[in-house]
């Protein structure tokens, strides 16, 4: 049986799960993004949850919280990002979650900044229609135009 993948708005009880998921050194290396300590993490999420222009979704895999997928505005550009707990990798969950987000977030263009070595994330974006807009020394910027 296929496990259902759904998005729903982030609630406070998701935060301890996201906190643990972002403490993973392998994920930190993959995303080229350092882990935050608990205080910094909770302060960051309190701030982004208070801003109504942010779209903050938990990714549900059956009844489990597999990770989060988010969209925010930065310098007039709408960006997206996502993070899954390692036990959920390799099952197509990020691709499905991004496809669902793209149905709900209709603003275009959308941008994603990805570490050059993060080929899995680049692949997820390309499977959902993003194309490479620019390559910099450490990151690749992908865009979804329509």
List residues near ligand COA by CB under 6 A: 27, 30-31, 67, 81-84, 89-95, 114, 118-121, 123-124
What is the nearest approach in angstroms of ligand COA to the Cβ of residue 119? 3
Burial status of residue 136 (CB atoms within 10 A of its CB: 0-12, 13-18, 19 or more): exposed
Q: Which is nearer to ligand COA, 16 or 34 (CB)?
A: 34
Distance in angstroms (rounded) separating the CA atoms of residues 32 and 70: 17
Q: Which is nearer to ligand COA, 42 or 141 (CB)?
A: 141
Distance in angstroms (rounded) separating the CA atoms of residues 84 and 94: 8
Q: Which is nearer to ligand COA, 93 or 101 (CB)?
A: 93
Cβ of 69: how many Cβ atoms within 10 Å? 25
Angle between helices 119-127 and 93-104 (to 10 degrees): 50
Token look-up 């935050």 returns 36
What is the nearest approach in angstroms of ligand COA to the Cβ of residue 70? 11
DSSP letters spanning 116-134: TT-HHHHHHHHHTT-EEEE
Q: Which is nearer to ligand COA, 43 or 126 (CB)?
A: 126
What is the nearest approach in angstroms of ligand COA to the Cβ of residue 127? 6
What is the nearest approach in angstroms of ligand COA to the Cβ of residue 20? 13
């Amino acid at each position: 049986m296929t496990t259902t993948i759904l998005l729903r708005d982030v609630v406070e009880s998701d935060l301890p799960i996201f906190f643990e998921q972002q403490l993973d050194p392998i994920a930190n290396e993959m995303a080229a993004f350092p882990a935050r300590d608990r205080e910094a993490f909770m302060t960051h999420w309190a701030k982004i949850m208070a801003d109504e222009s942010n779209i903050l979704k938990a990714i549900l895999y059956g009844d489990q919280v597999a990770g989060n997928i988010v969209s925010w505005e930065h310098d007039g550009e709408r960006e997206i990002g996502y993070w899954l707990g390692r036990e959920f990798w390799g099952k197509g969950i990020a691709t499905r979650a991004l496809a669902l987000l793209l149905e709900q977030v209709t603003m275009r263009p959308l941008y994603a900044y990805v570490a050059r070595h993060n080929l899995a994330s680049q692949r997820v974006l390309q499977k959902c229609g993003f194309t490479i807009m620019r390559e910099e020394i450490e990151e690749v910027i992908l865009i979804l135009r329509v």
